Structure 1
């Protein structure tokens, strides 16, 4: 038979060009890329085997029979592998998991297994082909080869259909077009056996997916040349699915936002690129990922981390040079071992976040690793976060009330609501432990809502029916996250209305940090609440950067001096002068003043002599549960004994 080699030769040339480019432009080592590499090699080999087999058959008189048998066997083996690998590639594109993923793998492997068994038996049984008198003949089961190829065409289309929700339209179009063209070529090949079209069909698939899906830059960070976050997630998935030991070395640049302000955006990008190029040259192209603006992660084999850390530290001790500027970078290196320190991406992110937070508050410390102390603190933090979640779900938070005593009226006039948490597993958890965590994970808003609800219930049940108690207002702390919500008033007023609590009986306390988080919005909130008679008190005045500018900018109705300032007044002569001036300034502004942290009678007397309005502290009452607080106020004010019996 005279064969037409034109399509095969054209396919061979294209296979060689794609193979050269694939090897020259290194691909990120994903499973998909590895499958594509195998598919490309198999299709190239199949094309060569098909050409050699047909040449051998056309010249059977001079080509030894054993060579023709080997060429034919190689062609069938590679053709069967190519169909299966096309299916495997589409399986990776669709990324099925769970029961569906296992079922699809099974449906792909079984036909390939039977095909290979029949092929291995073909030299003796003649299933696919046999030679007689030096001539090539199709076997009785040659039809199975066509059915086998058609099966994988169908499976590829089925995968696209099942995964249509998460597959790009262009991929769907490619697979459908390829399947249509490939089927036509198989039919034509069956009808016109002298035309060699098998490799042309494969070449068409390879060419389309290489141009559309095997983009070498798909996992590369364009600014630094390192791998990007998507590549890192793939690496993490590969690591956690294997049994080996790996080390994740995180390099965080502390002051990147300051450098951007100093150098400008473009130069700061060049600096990051220089850092990325250095880390890539040191550790390898696909070992370094950029995970954030100022953070790189290096994946290493266990045992190599100390050498790499030493090299990085040595390099960062020298300046980086960008556009004529010499920049000294302050780095932090966090080391996490798999599987010693973590076993999943979620655990990695949580532990890394915890260590990064510690690093940002550590001064000039460079190296951070997971030791027993870190693990203890980390797991304690996780347990506390879980306890907070349980308390929100099961309404387990308690509200304690601390008296605010008027030095002029000689009685308790207000209460501050303070949230407390007693967990069935952890016991009593201090507020300074769970409140910061709640602020970080966003649950502080729900906690604040619970506290407000409880305060309104307390006012409605105990205070409003008993004016002799003398409680004019309850101070409720408000979180920064709540103040960022423009509908803050709409979230608070319905609670007061539900319990028929007058707006003037709730005073919202906020700290300096809360006020400056969004100053314009905060000022608007104050004005809106002021219209309905609800006021704001500035809490912890004197802590942080608090100064008189906040008294000018925001219409506070009360100022609470931080307890540390109160203690300093009695311990430090310099602080005494400063605080006395602050008190006089606030008094001249006509703002009621509350001094926190008063614990002794001498302190109370001294502050009274200064003209301080109110004090809060253990001297006039610690934070107390509802019942104890009511009993305390009854004793102090000689309220009627029958109060509260109902």
Structure 2
């Protein structure tokens, strides 16, 4: 637009020709028509100089004479490079003045020719207010409004600056996660929680070095960016000071309470190019700190394992949805008669790649992810359907029960009794055909709820067994109160029994306890006929293990049932 105003020949060509530039006085008059600072610069033998400028240029604080002005001193090289090029127009930004009172301009250069001389029309648009507004908004975007600390985005920016400067290999990120902070919000309200966060931020800040950066990167999570001058032990010393600072009790609303924290550390590497990766590594280390109670450093192998578990979770979810799991059945035999009295249903999974995953691998993943609920329901449905199929092949009751394991997590998250009742009703079985096995750990999570669940299962008619007895935390009082029908002695007490007097004493004590409480007993891990005979002599009721059979698919299990019970009866 500036060039159009200077085009004396008419026509908005956007480029004045040699005859278009008027006399200096006329040039100044026309430049004054522009509401923004503008100047005409000539490149002569003496270098670059201002030939004409308007009043707005003068009001902006730039010199009017031909001596080097602030504009020429600052942008002379860029203007000369532009004039030496073939471009007709060029834009750039310029910060003029000292850092505190600097002005921000958008500078436009346009080419002009007259009498063989090369000239440049320079116009400046003052963007100072706009830039300062942007900077203010950016500061707000990168700052936590409660504590005044950098937020997650601001923390990432600081870390990215370290990466760009090539200093990330000599820095560490600490993540501090407050324990039980949610209880403060729940009991005292959000305002008390905010006050606590502000106080925690002050204490942590006081434990850091001046050059360390503290940020609030989550609700009750703080991040620290620190330089490592000598050894990684510096991070441990900082973490120790933070814990010491938080050890002093906090007082809110006339209440005094303690706040503990978990601290994870991740060290930068020269190949790191993403700040969020280092933060995630420190957050992953925090998870381990919550378990161990110690300051934990990130270990790549642990993250690799976590990724593998996540991939397994995804594949397991797909397998449950697609019905790709199967049940196998391990016989439970009467040690006195040798008859098969039941089977334990055991889940087996072979993924899409043909890899078989043992239950010890995928059951913990199912429990952690919550997939144990649909998996447990599927196992109940499948076990009942298999039992119905066996009854149909036998022409009536085939004479055995099927035991299904119930996870402690499953008992917490699912309403088991109605689920079992639905399975019994839909299959047409009676409740006594199903045995529900609970581990000892299930009883300590929520004893009252588990007791109610067990009584509800007994009302349906199901048999209740305590699995892996002797490895958990059961006590005589709970055993006496709970409606347990069967104690399953863990295989760790059974294997090697014949050569270990201490194990014999333990098994004898368990059998005596079960007899006193009117419970049957099942020994797991019975691998030899001699072991089965010894257990019979000690008074054990049932046995389960390789001495009888491994876990079998449904058809093989039914064939085993028919063959063994027929031969035993004969």
TM-score clears 0.5 = yes
Q: What's the offset of the Cα at 1:346?
A: 9.1
Which residue is equivalent to 2:26?
Answer: none
Gaps in structure 1 of 5+ consecutive residues: 1-52, 55-64, 76-110, 125-144, 150-197, 640-646
Q: Which residue of 1 aligns with 2:232?
A: 306
What is the match of residue 353 of structure 2? 425
Structure 1 equivalent of residue 266 of structure 2: 335
Partner residue of 1:529?
A: 457
CA shift in 2, pair 1:430/1:486, >3 Å: closer
- How far does the alpha carbon of each residue in 1:370-389 deviate from its partner, in whole angstroms, 9 at most, with x for none? 34x44653443333223312
> Post-superposition shift, 1:420?
1.0
Judge conservation of contact 1:316–1:330 (CA < 8 Å) in 2: no
> Who is 1:249 aligned against?
173
Is contact 1:317-1:328 (8 Å) kept? Answer: no
When residues 374 and 321 of structure 1 are mapped into structure 2, their CA distance, relative to the original with a 3 A threshold, is closer
- How far apart, in 2, do the equivalents of 1:117 and 1:250 lie? 41
Matched, 1:69 2:42: no
CA deviations over 1:196-230 (Å, ceiling 9, x no partner): xx98xx99x979x98x99779961666xx865xxx
SS in structure 1 at match of 2:327: strand
Query: Which position in structure 2 is the counterpart of 1:383?
Result: 311
Aligned to 1:542: 470
- Spell out the pairing of 1:351-430 with structure 2 (5 A cutoff): 355-356=285-286, 358=288, 366-371=295-300, 373-374=301-302, 376-425=304-353, 427-430=355-358
Inter-CA distance 524–240: structure 2 relative to 1 (3 Å threshold): farther
8 Å CA contact retained: 1:248, 1:336: yes
Q: Secondary structure at the match of 1:607?
A: helix
SS at 2:468 equivalent: strand
Asked whether the equivalents of residues 330 and 550 of structure 2 are also in contact (C-alpha less than 8 Å), the reply is yes
Return closer, same or farther for 1:529/1:328 CA change in 2, 3 Å cut-off. Answer: closer
**Residue 375 and residue 482 in structure 1: after superposition, are their counterparts in 2 closer, same or farther (change >3 A)?**
closer
Q: 1:342 & 1:401 partners in 2: Cα distance?
A: 52
Q: Structure 1 pair 121/281, CA: closer, same or farther in 2 (3 Å)?
A: same
Alpha-carbon shift at residue 563 of structure 1 (Å): 1.4
TM-score w.r.t. length of structure 2: 0.64
The alignment status of 1:232 with 2:219, answered yes or no, reads: no
Alignment of 1:164-179 (within 5 A): none
**Post-superposition CA distance 1:251-305 (Å, at most 9, x none):** 5689x67xx99xx999xx69956762345446534x4446576x64333579888
1:540 alignment partner, SS class:
strand
> Given that residues 327 and 553 in structure 2 are in contact (C-alpha distance below 8 angstroms), is that contact kept between their aligned partners in structure 1?
yes
Question: Conserved in 2, the CA contact under 8 Å of 1:404 and 1:416?
Answer: yes
Cα distance change of structure 1 residues 118 and 369 upon mapping to structure 2, 3 Å threshold = closer
Q: 1:219 aligns with which of 138, 144, 166?
A: 144
CA contact (8 A) 2:335 2:540 kept: yes
Alignment match of 1:582 (pick from 510, 517, 525): 510
By percentage of residues, which structure has more strand? 2
Check 1:493–1:601 CA distance in 2 against 1; reply closer, same or farther (3 A cut): same
Q: Is the 8 A contact 2:288 2:296 kept in 1?
A: no
Aligned pair count? Answer: 456
* Partner in structure 1 of residue 493 of structure 2: 565
Q: What secondary structure, in the 3-state scheme, does the structure 1 residue paired with 2:366 have?
A: helix
For 2:381 and 2:229, locate their aligned partners in 1 and report how far apart those are by CA, in whole Å.
56
User: 1:122 and 1:376, CA in 2 relative to 1: closer, same or farther beyond 3 A?
Assistant: closer
> Which structure 2 residues correspond to residues 615-630 of structure 1 after superposition, within 5 A?
615-630=543-558
Deviation at 1:118, TM superposition (A): 9.5
| Deviates most, 597-606 or 309-318 | 309-318
Call closer, same or farther: CA 1:626–1:339 in 2, change over 3 Å: farther
Alpha-carbon shift at residue 417 of structure 1 (Å): 0.8
Write the distance in 2 (CA, Å) between the matches of 1:343 and 1:395.
40
Change (3 A) 1:510 1:252: farther
Per-residue CA deviation, residues 221-260 of structure 1 (Å, 9 max, x unaligned), is: 66xx865xxx226645886899747566345689x67xx9
Q: 2: CA distance between counterparts of 1:629 and 1:622?
A: 10
* Whole-Å separation in 2 of the counterparts to 1:400 and 1:241: 57
Structure 2 CA distance for partners of 1:219 and 1:119, relative to 1, 3 Å? same
Deviations 1:117-158 (A, max 9, x none): 89656999xxxxxxxxxxxxxxxxxxxx9xxx9xxxxxxxxx
| Offset, 1:412 | 1.1
The superposition leaves residues 8-37 of structure 1 with CA deviations (integer Å, 9 ceiling, x where unpaired) of xxxxxxxxxxxxxxxxxxxxxxxxxxxxxx
Deviation at 1:440, TM superposition (A): 0.7
Q: CA 1:418–1:218 in 2, change beyond 3 Å: closer, same or farther?
A: same
- Matched with 1:609 is 537
Q: Is 1:284 the equivalent of 2:217?
A: no
Q: Relative to total residues, which structure has the larger helix share, 1 or 2?
A: 1
The partner residue of 1:596 within 524, 528, 540 is: 524
Please, which of 402, 406, 412 is the counterpart of residue 474 of structure 1? 402
Seen in structure 2, the aligned counterparts of structure 1 residues 584 and 221 have a Cα distance that, compared at 3 Å, is farther
Structure 1 pair 123/315, CA: closer, same or farther in 2 (3 Å)?
Answer: farther
In 2 relative to 1, CA 370–541 (structure 1 residues): closer, same or farther, beyond 3 Å? same
The structure-2 alpha-carbon separation of the partners of 1:629 and 1:292, relative to structure 1 and needing over 3 Å to count, comes to farther
Q: Decide whether aligned partners of structure 1 residues 463 and 600 sit closer, same or farther in structure 2, where only a CA change above 3 A counts.
A: same
| Unmatched segments (≥5 aa) in structure 2 | 1-34, 37-51, 63-90, 94-104, 114-124, 251-255
After superposition, the Cα gap between the structure-2 partners of 1:570 and 1:217, relative to the gap in structure 1 and judged at 3 Å, is farther
